[in-house]
Amino acid sequence: MKPITIGAVLFVAGCGGASEATVEAQTAANATAETTAAIAAAETAAPKDHPQASLHLKLARDQLHQAKRLMQEDENDKAQLLLMRATADAELALMLARESDAKEKAERARAQVDSLSSHP
Amino acid sequence: MKSLRPMLATPLFLCAACASAPPSKQLVDARRAYEDARTSSAADYRPDAVLTAKQALVRAERAHDDDPGSFREVSLAYVAEREAQKAQAWGEYEVGVQAIEQADDDYKRKQAQMLADTQNDKQAAEARLETQSTELNQERAARQQAEQRAAAAISSLEQIARVKEEARGTVITLEGAVLFVTGKSELAPLAQQKLTEVAKALNDIDPSKRIVVEGHTDSRGSDEDNLALSQRRATTVRDYLVSQGVAEDRITAVGRGETQPLASNDTTEGRANNRRVEIVIGSGNADATNADATRETTD
């Protein structure tokens, strides 16, 4: 009975270890996909001549690249943190782009109102 | 979203105070960024984003407490700083969106106002035009009526006297024999009837025109007597016309004596023509010729 019990325990432990690694890899893959999507969204929205947005986009891309390398080396924890940073940079770039776009549009709309009142 | 705001103001750094190791530069930056976001427009427009930034900062603070200066602390602080900056940008984005909406509303309102103003102006212009055209028509009708009345008056005058257009105006000549007994200045019985008609015609022709009543004699008798007689007769005619409704201030009387004969004084017929009263309806209006007429009366 005893060897069987030990074997069963080992088997279960082995199974547990294997599934944890799978979950970690899956999580990393999800995070990578999330970061990639955030970067793509920011690239679509951010104009090239917006220096701050461009800077954060570059940081996002660099950190995504670094995270992928770390994942190949099985440094998944560190990779995870780098992906979070990359996503935060991409989202910030997107919001900065939206902010300056809204401000520009507001300025144009106000100028239109002013042009209307200067031609009574 | 507004209800989130009080939560954002709760003190964050209770644990930070008791931690022995100093925070990383990244954590210091994250704290400052969060403070900026918390006091920016984001607090009003995107309290949810500010709350997310706060939660990110809390995670970074915990990482610092657990393992000061670790890659985890630095990374979570890095994320927290960007979350705070994102919240602030989001707030500014909402400010911009609201400004666009406000400007659009203002634009529509002003446009509507301008349209209404234009329509009001147009209506006012049409109303003015209408009034002007009505006034013009009334004036034209009144003028036509006056002209018709004047023409009728002239033709009725032609029944009882000679009417002639001269440079000095319309001249109505009444024979002296019809108006006066020889040598006298009182009106003969039939004269009143004629002068009543003349007075009516004078008012119909044009009440604004000056009238001069001129007395003329033939050459028999002395110049002085003739002048005095002609003056008296002119005055009698004037007074009678005034009594028949001709405005006193538009009619004057003047004696010409024998100075302006129409025909030769050598014949009976000629002398009869020269004895006359002329009523001159001036071409100018009463005010313009007033001074002239006053002088004639006082001569």
Residues of A contacting chain B (CB within 8 angstroms): 56, 78, 81-82, 84-85, 88-89, 91-92, 95-96, 98-99, 101-103, 105-106, 109-110, 112-113, 116-117, 120
Contacts of B112 (CB under 8 A, 6+ apart): none
> Best interface-test mutation with A: which of B41, B74, B88, B100 has the largest number of A CBs within 10 A?
B100
pLDDT per position as a tens digit, B107-145: 999 999 999 999 999 999 999 999 999 999 999 999 999
Task: State whether A81 and B86 contact (CB < 8 Å).
Answer: no
pLDDT per position as a tens digit, B3-40: 555 555 554 554 444 446 899 999 999 999 999 999 99
Q: Report whether pLDDT(B79) > 50.
A: yes
SS3 state at B57? helix
Beta-bridge partners for B166: B169
Structure tokens at B99: 């400004």
> Best interface-test mutation with B: which of A57, A76, A95, A98 has the largest number of B CBs within 10 A?
A95
List the single residue in B with minimal CA-CA distance to A113.
B107
What's the whole-model pTM score?
0.58
pLDDT of residue B19: 47
**What share of chain B in percent tops pLDDT 90?**
55
pLDDT per position as a tens digit, A51-92: 999 999 999 999 999 999 999 998 999 999 999 999 999 999
Task: State whether A82 and B75 contact (CB < 8 Å).
Answer: yes
ipTM > 0.90?
A: no
Q: Which residues of B touch A110 (CB under 8 A)?
A: 99, 103
Question: pLDDT band at residue B284, thresholds of 50, 70 and 90?
Answer: low
Closest CA to B103 of A115, A109, A14: A109
Q: At which residue do the structure tokens 């025109």 appear?
A: B209
- What is the spatial distance between Cα B167 and Cα B124, in angstroms, rounded to a whole number? 47
Contacts of B180 (CB under 8 A, 6+ apart): B186, B187, B188, B191, B233
pLDDT per position as a tens digit, B204-233: 888 788 999 999 998 888 999 999 999 999
CA dihedral B251, B255, B259, B264 (to 10 degrees): 90
Q: How far away is chain B from the Cα of A43, in angstroms, using its nearest Cα?
A: 16
Nearest by CB: B100 against A78, A99, A102: A102
Q: Are A98 and A66 in contact (CB under 8 A)?
A: no
Written as one letter, the residue type at B285 is: N
Specify the higher pLDDT residue, B176 or A19.
B176
Q: How far away is chain A from the Cα of B84, in angstroms, using its nearest Cα?
A: 9
pLDDT per position as a tens digit, A13-61: 444 445 777 777 788 788 899 999 999 999 998 888 899 999 999 999 9
- What is the spatial distance between Cα B158 and Cα B39, in angstroms, rounded to a whole number? 104
Task: State whether B110 and A106 contact (CB < 8 Å).
Answer: no
